[in-house]
């Protein structure tokens, strides 16, 4: 997957994705051939120049084609995902833009996020540190080896701001 540090690759990825959407694969199987040209670059195409026919390797793409049922299922999943994202975008944000935090609430069933409490202006520092520690513990299993957080963590865990700014260093 392209990274944000390599804009050229990112553009190429987006162009390839757009090409797949705008020009979907045909229903008829084709043969894709691969060869190395005089400058050492690997080339791929349906038609091979005569001078490379003896060194080109061709693959029948028919075995990789999705069936009509698989394509329909993928389109339904895509439409469902788009509808879910639109409905989530319409929901009010968890915190107001002014920085005010939601009031504390109790866990409400099996789908509740952790920690179940949310920090308010009235939350004392000891409680805030406890809630913060619960949040850090919840996000822990969703950290990658490079320190990033997996997206699915936000479905399970509530983000709690560090109390150090208002409360100072932890006092145990």
- DSSP letters for 76-138: HHHHHHHHHHHHHHHSPPSS-TT---PPP----STT--BSS----TT--HHHHHHHHHHHHHH
Q: Which two tokens stand for residue 63?
A: 């075995």
Evaluate whether residue 11 is within a structural domain.
Answer: no
The verdict on residue 124 lying in a domain is yes
Residue pair 3/9 in contact (Cβ under 8 Å)? The answer is: yes
DSSP 38: T
Residue 144 lies in a domain: yes
Total domains, the chain: 1
Is residue 23 included in any domain, yes or no? no
Give the tokens for residue 64. 């990789």
Helix (H) or strand (E) holding 36: strand 31-36
Does residue 136 lie within any of the structural domains? yes
Q: Over the stretch 68-127, which tens digit does the pLDDT of each residue have?
A: 888 888 889 888 888 888 877 776 655 434 444 444 444 444 567 888 888 888 888 889
CA distances from 160 to 114, 138, 154, 172 (A): 10, 11, 11, 20
Q: Tell me, what's the pLDDT at 141?
A: 92
pLDDT of residue 21: 58
Residue 171 pLDDT more than 70? yes
Domain containing 115: what range? Answer: 96-167
pLDDT tens track for 36-72: 999 999 999 989 999 998 999 998 887 778 888 888 8
Query: Is 139 part of a structural domain of the chain?
Result: yes
pLDDT band at 168 (very low <50, low <70, confident <90, very high): confident
Residue 127 lies in a domain: yes
91 assigned to some structural domain: no
């Amino acid at each position: 997957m392209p990274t944000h540090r390599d804009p050229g690759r990112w553009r190429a990825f987006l162009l390839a994705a757009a090409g797949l959407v705008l020009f979907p694969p045909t229903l008829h199987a084709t043969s894709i051939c691969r060869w190395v040209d005089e400058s050492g670059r690997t080339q791929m195409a349906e038609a091979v120049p005569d001078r490379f026919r003896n060194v080109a390797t061709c693959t029948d793409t028919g075995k990789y084609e999705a069936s009509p049922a698989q394509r329909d299922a993928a389109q339904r999943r895509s439409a469902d995902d788009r509808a879910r994202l639109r409905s989530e975008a319409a929901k009010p944000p968890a915190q107001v833009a002014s920085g005010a935090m939601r009031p504390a609430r109790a866990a409400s069933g099996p789908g509740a996020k952790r920690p179940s409490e949310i920090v308010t202006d009235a939350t004392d520092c000891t409680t805030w540190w406890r809630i913060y520690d619960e949040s850090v513990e919840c996000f822990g299993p969703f950290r990658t080896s490079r320190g990033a957080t997996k997206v699915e963590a936000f479905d399970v865990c509530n983000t709690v701001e560090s109390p150090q700014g208002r409360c100072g260093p932890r006092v145990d």
